Structure 1
Amino acid sequence: MTATTPVLAAREIDFTYGRGEDFRVEGWSASFPRGAVTAMTGPSGCGKSTRLYLLSLMLRIRCGVIELDGRRVDDLPDAARAQLRAQRFGFVFQDAALDASRSVIDNILEATLYRGQRAGDHRARALELLDALEVAVPPGRKPGQVSGGQGQRIATCRALLGRPDIILADEPTGNLDPASAAVVLGALRRHADDGGAVVVVTHDPGVAAWADHRLELDAHR
């Protein structure tokens, strides 16, 4: 790997979704460097979220190559792909995707289970993240007892907990007020400044302008 090798790259990716090939990704290439935020923009239905799933190895491509640190990973067995997701990626979903049956702190610590780590060893960092993202709720509270903005910040804490190489965020500020959005974007910026790669799907021109790189998609590719 050289100094210019991106941490994550897609090379000539083809992907088809639906029996009648309702949605297609054809010949898509992109690269994502460490230490930077990339905004993925484009009209609804152009496959922004699908590309996040492809990059994270949640979906299998039809042809092409996905690389981590210059090494092909799309052809790995399912178990190895899952291990890479747990070890190398953090995810922020548009709807926060918190487990209503678990406390705030346990939702954040959930990621340690997939990495085979002891949750207790990461509790202090989880509490630090709650403070840094200004969540301001008791860690034992359930997700149903927090606001939407707090829930999205909790989800961001979960993504950042293991200091992953790559954060994939799908409309992380789409349902947030300006103050909450600024907190989430600030946390993502700090992660990039610390050497991580951050990929943000967004419809917000302000978020796109805030990013270091903008990847504009159209309805056909």
Structure 2
Amino acid sequence: MLSLRGVRKSYGGTPALRPVDVELAAGELVVLTGPSGSGKSTLLMIAGGWETPDGGEVVPHPPLPDLPVERMSWQDLGFVPQSISLFEELTLADNLALARGSAGGGELLEALELGHLAERRPGEVSRGEQQRAAVARALVASPALVIADEPTSHQDHRRAQLVLGLLRAAADRGAAVLIASHDPAVVSRADREIRLGAGAVTRG
């Protein structure tokens, strides 16, 4: 599904990713772990096509979308950024409809305990509820590749399990799912863990 081969990236001369190799198969949920600053978010952005590596290659290379971060969700790729990035002027239901290209997503909102909030705007719900809406937006079009950056960081244990259950189900249906997380609960639901340290793969 996705291969990162010898990928490296620096910002202002400081390496964020040293040459790394990562393979992701369809039907697999892989979690990236490691301390803050280890390169997890940079790797996700390169994997999704929103950052261009300084070297190495991404195969197949996803097209760089001509979209703001709020709309990084479409048929082939669903993205949950740390920043959440919902459209503030739209309701939660409309944020999902925009990602899908049509009405829909009610079942996902219900599964994430957001059905009663569907007609509220992001500023009218909690940070955790916004994050779950971002997860629903990423999954609503049943994408082949799902990339999620700390998707449980604003959730209590029970609601984190709701999020993880849907991400696990996406992989079980055949999507390739790549998650960066510090959450041991995410690791417990993954097929494989890749640990980063100082921009390099130290395990996995």
TM-score scaled by length of structure 2: 0.88
1:82 equivalenced with 2:70 (yes/no)? no
- AA aligned to 1:43 is P
Match of 1:104 in 2: 92
* Structure with greater proportional strand content: 2
1:160 equivalenced with 2:143 (yes/no)? no
Is the contact between residue 73 and residue 137 of structure 2 (CA under 8 Å) also seen in structure 1? no
- Identify if the C-alpha distance between structure 1 residues 46 and 146 changes in structure 2 by more than 3 Å, giving closer, same or farther: same
Unaligned runs of 5+ in 2: 67-71
Is the contact between residue 56 and residue 85 of structure 1 (CA under 8 Å) also seen in structure 2? no
Whole-angstrom distance in 1 between the partners of 2:16 and 2:183? 24
TM-score scaled by length of structure 1: 0.82
Unaligned runs of 5+ in 1: 1-6, 75-79
Match of 2:69 in 1: none
Whole-angstrom distance in 2 between the partners of 1:145 and 1:211? 33
* Segment of structure 1 superposing worse, 129-138 or 183-192: 129-138
Match of 1:39 in 2: 31
- AA aligned to 1:89 is L
Whole-angstrom distance in 2 between the partners of 1:9 and 1:154? 29
Once the two structures are superposed, the pairs formed by residues 47-126 of structure 1 within 5 Å of their partners are 47-68=39-60, 73=61, 80-82=63-65, 86-112=74-100, 117=101, 119=102, 123-124=103-104, 126=105
Q: Which runs of 4+ in 1 moved over 6 A?
A: none
Tell me which structure has the larger Cα radius of gyration: 1
Whole-angstrom distance in 1 between the partners of 2:16 and 2:111? 40
Whole-angstrom distance in 1 between the partners of 2:171 and 2:199? 30
Match of 2:167 in 1: 188
